[in-house]
Amino acid sequence: MVIAKTLSGYLARQVLTWCGAVFAIMLTITFLLDYLELIRRGAQRPEATMGLLLEMAALKLPYMAQEVLPFGILFGTMLAFWRLTRSNELVVARAAGVSVWQFLLPAELFALTVGVFAVTIFNPVASVTQATFENLETRVLRGSDDQLSLSRSGLWLRETDDAGNQRLIHAQRSASGDLALQGVTILFFRGVDQFTQRIDAASARLTDGAWLIENGNRWFGNGETELFDRVTLPTGLTPRKIQESFAAPETMSFWDLPSFIHLLEVSGFPTQRHRLYFNALLARPFLLCAMVLIAATFSLRMQRRGGATLMIVGGVVTAFSLFFLSDIVFALGLSATIPVPLAAWTPAGVSILMGVALLLHLEDG
């Protein structure tokens, strides 16, 4: 038992060291690439200073760390097992009667612990920084000041025209299908704080380039009122732009997503995007465990079957295949072609089954 604990601790330290080093390198490269891309996008905007762009790249880094983590685990575990195989340490362990499943256990527990920590503790932090980054990106790089939010008090939408005049729209809820608002209140402002008029209406529908408002009352700043059956207000919004303007799932904490998904459902808006992201977070720890299994299949016997070259090629092909598979099934989930849980859990499930099957074939077949 003492030997088992010692060996488990040693293997866990090796995996932790190599995964940490690979993850740090990948994260540094990602940060530099994001910073260069932000510099390119902000080249024509005087307010996009180098310092502000550096801050934006740093704010985006925690979210990117979540995306890079599975690949860091994959390549880090591959290198750790490859080094242990080349130094014959795993050969000695096998000669002592330790099976591949036993010395994979510390790495699997490490991956599972990292996955749970990333989802439950790190994700809320990353969601805050990502929300700040997206606000800066919208204001500085896109030059847009339109804002939309959904709360228990209803839908809130702010539009700003080229002259700086603002329009604040509030609705109790939205009907299914096209964007049709019910219980609508619209406040008009000249500039930031000069109130000009107000509209209260039973409904408003977003058509091609305009809000079609029906059965309402218009209040003017001078105290006059006007009843109307139908009013048309020009707008640059579209239903797709409004739905995409909701708080992105990446900007919401793992713990806040279930309540926001429920809020979207009762408000009549689609929830596929947020449910898919939430289920993908639930599957993340198991995906990291699958990366350990796949890494083991490429690295445990590389000394006899082609060395480092085959290991690197196999790892890169696996990483791209996983990325490609995830994109396909996520797109199918967003379009409601397949159920959202199936789309979110497919990459982790397929990776686990493939890793177990390959290890059974190589070690016990």
For 172, the token pair is 């109790």
Tell me how far apart the alpha carbons of residues 52 and 39 are, in angstroms, rounded to a whole number: 10
| Cα distance between residue 26 and residue 184, in whole Å | 49
End-to-end CA distance of the chain: 29
Q: What is the pLDDT of residues 171-198, one digit of tens each?
A: 877 765 457 788 889 988 887 678 888 9
Q: Are 173 and 182 in contact (CB under 8 A)?
A: yes
Tokens 């009843």: give the residue: 227
Burial of 161 (0-12, 13-18, 19+ CB in 10 A): exposed
Q: Residue 214, SS3?
A: strand
Q: Does residue 293 contact residue 361 with C-beta atoms inside 8 Å? A: no
**What's the confidence (pLDDT) of residue 125?**
96
Give the closest residue to 295 by CA, choosing from 362, 203, 227.
Answer: 362
Contact predicate 270/276, CB 8 Å: no
- Token readout for 32 is 């530099």
- Give the CA distances from residue 363 to residues 107, 192, 203, 295, 353, in Å, rounded to whole numbers and listed in that order: 17, 70, 66, 14, 15
Distance from C-alpha of 109 to C-alpha of 9, rounded to nearest angstrom: 11
pLDDT of residue 203: 87
Return the pLDDT at 365: 46
Whether 278 contacts 261, CB under 8 Å: yes
Cross-strand partners of 158? 147, 168
Nearest to 319, CA basis, from 64, 63, 32, 69: 69
pLDDT per position in the chain (365 positions), as tens? 445 788 888 989 999 999 999 999 999 999 999 999 999 998 888 888 999 999 999 999 999 999 999 999 999 998 998 888 888 888 788 777 778 888 889 999 999 999 999 999 999 999 999 989 988 888 888 765 555 656 666 777 777 776 777 888 888 777 654 577 888 899 888 876 788 889 999 888 888 878 889 888 998 877 788 888 888 888 877 766 666 556 788 989 999 999 888 877 766 677 888 999 999 999 999 999 999 998 888 877 655 545 566 766 777 787 788 888 888 999 898 888 899 999 999 999 998 998 888 888 876 54
Beta strands in 176-209 (DSSP E): 180-190, 194-207
Tokens in use for 252?
């919401």
Domain coordinates in residue numbering, the chain:
2-142+269-364, 147-244
Pairing of strands 147-151, 225-234: unpaired
Tally of residues, the chain: 365
pTM, whole model, 2 decimals? 0.79
